[in-house]
Amino acid sequence: MCAGVPTLKTSHDFRRIAQTGQKWVTPAFIMQLSKNDSTGFRLGLTVSRKVGNAVVRNRAKRRLRETVRLHLKQQSLDGLEIVLIGRTAAADIDFIKLQKDFRWALKSLGALPAESVS
């Protein structure tokens, strides 16, 4: 993925987080979050072929990846493993709205303090 964002690579990790983690749904993505203090932050990203052709899927992944990267510049997410499942709106939704949805999902799952969401 990105040079600065450690990634989840194995299907075992994706399944483990899906089974044991918390889930939050937004119009642009589904966030699955697992708190794991033994590791730093890791991100898993997937977009189904149902979302669109390769161009649309890659656009959605780039936008989601950039949202995470920008958030990491502002606030550390150490001890969290996040899987983002891109939905159709991820490729077209306003980028500011995408960032707000990401922060709102983190807050709703208890990963951020309530006052950090704007």
pLDDT tens, position by position, 97-109: 999 999 999 999 9
Whether domain 11-105 has CATH 3.30.230.10: the reply is: yes
Q: Is the pLDDT of residue 94 over 70?
A: yes
Q: Would you state the pLDDT for residue 76?
A: 83
More confident residue, 40 or 109: 109
Rg from Cα positions in the chain: 13
| Tokens linked to 15 | 């399944």
Query: pTM, whole model, 2 decimals?
Result: 0.87
Q: Would you state the pLDDT for residue 75?
A: 86
Query: Residue 49 and residue 52: Cα distance in Å, rounded?
Result: 6
Q: Would you state the pLDDT for residue 36?
A: 81
With cut-offs at 50, 70 and 90, classify the pLDDT of residue 73. Answer: confident
